[in-house]
Amino acid sequence: MFSYFQARKHEISEYLRAFFDEKADALTRVNPLGRDLCERLHAFSLRGKMIRGGLVSLGCSVAAGAGCTGERRILNTASGAAMELLQSGLLIHDDIMDRDTVRRGLKSVFYQYAELAEGRGIADSYHLGESLGVCAGDVAYFLAFEILGGLAAPPEVQRELVALTARELGYVGVAQMQDIFAGAGGAALADEEVLKLYLYKTGRYTFSLPLMAGGVLGGGGPELLANLERLGEALGVIFQLKDDEIGLFGDAAETGKPVGSDIKEGKKTLYFGYLRRRAGAEEQQRLESIFGNPEIGEEEVQYVRRLVESLGIRREIQGRADKLADSSRDLIDAVAPSGSPDREVLRGLLDYSLARTR
Amino acid sequence: MFSYFQARKHEISEYLRAFFDEKADALTRVNPLGRDLCERLHAFSLRGKMIRGGLVSLGCSVAAGAGCTGERRILNTASGAAMELLQSGLLIHDDIMDRDTVRRGLKSVFYQYAELAEGRGIADSYHLGESLGVCAGDVAYFLAFEILGGLAAPPEVQRELVALTARELGYVGVAQMQDIFAGAGGAALADEEVLKLYLYKTGRYTFSLPLMAGGVLGGGGPELLANLERLGEALGVIFQLKDDEIGLFGDAAETGKPVGSDIKEGKKTLYFGYLRRRAGAEEQQRLESIFGNPEIGEEEVQYVRRLVESLGIRREIQGRADKLADSSRDLIDAVAPSGSPDREVLRGLLDYSLARTR
């Protein structure tokens, strides 16, 4: 599984290198910031794991069987590169919203610009960084659609890819709005709303979209596409539930994040919803002083962890993940023939999602 | 000319009403902010003059002659709506960068969200407004590409439209970066750089892109498309030069903007570049205390105006506009047959651009 995605990442990286070489020349004709932006977007995109990009190839392979070679393979790589550019654009904007100065082990893109502006002695350099970051994210989206628009795929395939991608990204935007609105205290979300948020903000977009895009490229029929969509949804929600679990119970040495970071940030995870509903009045009060409080220590984190265990919340959420894993297995069996390498990769992805601790 | 664009605006508005009705339902399935966003984007888009949208029809008409009816007309309207949504997205992001709280006679979109957040007692409501505004602009882009991706045009036409639009929007993003960077004092621009900025930030995107998109929809050949591109560039730069002139010499009662607003903002217009180069040392010093100073009064504005006149700058820049108008007339004659309604509309647009005082 890892080697499959590593190979795809290698192909997509090669594509991006050639693409940015060409675009840097084109955008330099606009002005010198064009080349500079290409270099930043390129470096930033290369730091991703490129799971989304790799899933395009996997979806195509599932749909076309052994037929996903030659021309089709090139189309997979180009579409995968577009997925990665869209992800870069979303992350660049996300970091502005969250004021995150580090991403993918680099300074976040808007912060790179803020530092550049500060170096030139510009007043209000942080805001200029944000503004340039907004533009940079926008350009990343436009480059992605330029790739999809220029794809030398059969017409109905190309059209479907553009429409599918644009539609799904619209969902991501609206889900992101709810996420930051709820995170800032603008709305309380019921459990089902949290799950829907997981589905639309990352789940479908990270798994369903690239799998379906690949399915379309591989000539898959409506039934296969529907199965890929559902499989992506299941994998996506599992991934997010696991993310929450790691955010709560994860080991700082493994995750590289401070212990209980989700608690300190007051993240509106499914755990948070369960706790709010199930804790008694006294516990509620204590929880209120803990969630969203960056000053809390080990003791408070342990308190929340114990509560999540003792109220049966961890078990129950694990149960949800297990159920989704069961349907994922069924869907994997439905889309990929027994013994096929594709089935192995998909199972590997599922197992990894379930077992990962960071 | 006005009635032509008004009729197109009417058609595009009808299209947008139906489109947002449908999208509001789809995005409400994501969460309630989806419908709310559709309402805001819809109201915001309806306030535009929709020149871009109208130019698509004009480009198609020029390319197809009397053949731009039926199916093609519907495609024009849909593509025009996409152009308007892209413009809305760009303006929404632009207002965040410039911290403009009013746009098109409404509160700017990010500011609407900031007020909403403030009303809910959310700390840091301004930043939440900015974040939601970034998402809103993103969604506007994605909706535009969803329209273009779903266009029931011949495959090669649809593909060309997506690629053309995405490529041009990438240029806009990079030009916008230079504009805000220079505006914040990050770089001094030579005259030719300012003109290139005009070309890529608004000129080509406002005129060349929709004219060419229409040309593609109308089945125009490479020569016609190249002429439409050049015509759009000429019209675009004229429009911007006129904008600068109005910003400097305009009557507050007509423009609705305070006298000398461009001077107070320290806008890096072509006039500014000429002044910087031509003024003597003493004048330079005085200019430096004036440009970008929001506290200046009538006297300073008059000083700059006199200098622009006495140094022959106004005449020279007018000469540039006149030259562009000459080539525009030639290009209009080349693309639209004598006596055709299209030629009348194009000439009307040019004359309006040259004569407008607000």
Average pLDDT rounded to a whole number, residues A258-271: 84
Q: Which contacts (CB < 8 Å, 24+ apart) does range B243-251 have?
A: B244/B269, B244/B270, B244/B271, B244/B317, B245/B271, B245/B314, B245/B317, B245/B318, B246/B356, B246/B357, B246/B358, B248/B304, B248/B305, B248/B308, B249/B305, B249/B314, B250/B357, B250/B358, B251/B357, B251/B358
pLDDT category, A69, cuts 50, 70, 90?
A: confident
**Among B23, B31, B169, whose Cβ lies nearest the Cβ of A193?**
B31
C-alpha to C-alpha distance for A331 and A158, rounded to whole angstroms: 26
C-alpha to C-alpha distance for B314 and A46, rounded to whole angstroms: 49
CA torsion angle B67 B68 B69 B71 (round to 10) = 110
CB of B190 within 8 Å of a chain A CB? The answer is: no
> Looking at residue A257, what is its pLDDT?
73
> Looking at residue A254, what is its pLDDT?
76
- Report whether pLDDT(A255) > 80: no
CB of B33 within 8 Å of a chain A CB? The answer is: yes
- Report whether pLDDT(A350) > 90: yes
* A295-318 as b/e: b if 16+ CB within 10 A: ebeeebbebbbebbeebebbeebe
What are A115-166's pLDDT values in tens digits? 999 999 998 999 999 999 999 999 999 999 999 999 999 988 999 999 999 9
**Among B96, B149, B171, whose Cβ lies nearest the Cβ of A134?**
B96
What are A98-112's pLDDT values in tens digits? 999 999 989 999 999
> Looking at residue A357, what is its pLDDT?
77
C-alpha to C-alpha distance for B106 and B111, rounded to whole angstroms: 10
Chain A residue nearest residue B185, CA to CA: A122
User: Which amino acid is residue B50, in one-letter code?
Assistant: M
Q: Which range (A36-40, A80-84, A157-161, B267-271) has the least confidence?
A: B267-271
C-alpha to C-alpha distance for B95 and B106, rounded to whole angstroms: 12
> Looking at residue A261, what is its pLDDT?
80
Q: What is the largest CA-CA distance in chain A?
A: 65
What are A162-207's pLDDT values in tens digits? 999 999 999 999 999 999 999 888 888 999 999 999 999 999 999 9
Residues of B in contact with A143 (CB under 8 A): 166, 170
What are B261-286's pLDDT values in tens digits? 888 888 889 999 899 889 999 999 99
**A20, A41, A142: best mutation site toward chain B, by most B Cβ within 10 Å?**
A142
SS (H, E, C) A34-88: HHHHHHHHHHHHHCCCCHHHHHHHHHHHHHHHHHCCCHHHHHHHHHHHHHHHHHH
Residues 73-112 of B with CB under 8 A from A: 93, 96-97
> Looking at residue A121, what is its pLDDT?
93
Q: Is B207 helix (H, G, I), strand (E, B) or coil?
A: helix
Q: Do residues A329 and A350 lie in contact, with contact meaning Cβ atoms separated by under 8 Å? A: yes
Predicted model pTM? 0.95
> Looking at residue A31, what is its pLDDT?
95
> Looking at residue B65, what is its pLDDT?
84
Q: Is A107 helix (H, G, I), strand (E, B) or coil?
A: strand
Q: Do residues B283 and B325 lie in contact, with contact meaning Cβ atoms separated by under 8 Å? A: no
Q: Which residues contact B322 (CB under 8 A, 6 or more apart)?
A: none
> Looking at residue B12, what is its pLDDT?
98
Q: Do residues A72 and A60 lie in contact, with contact meaning Cβ atoms separated by under 8 Å? A: yes
- The stretches in chain B having pLDDT less than 50 are none
CB of B200 within 8 Å of a chain A CB? The answer is: yes
Residues of B in contact with A158 (CB under 8 A): 155, 158-159
Closest CA to A161 of A59, A232, A313: A59
Chain B residue nearest residue A117, CA to CA: B186
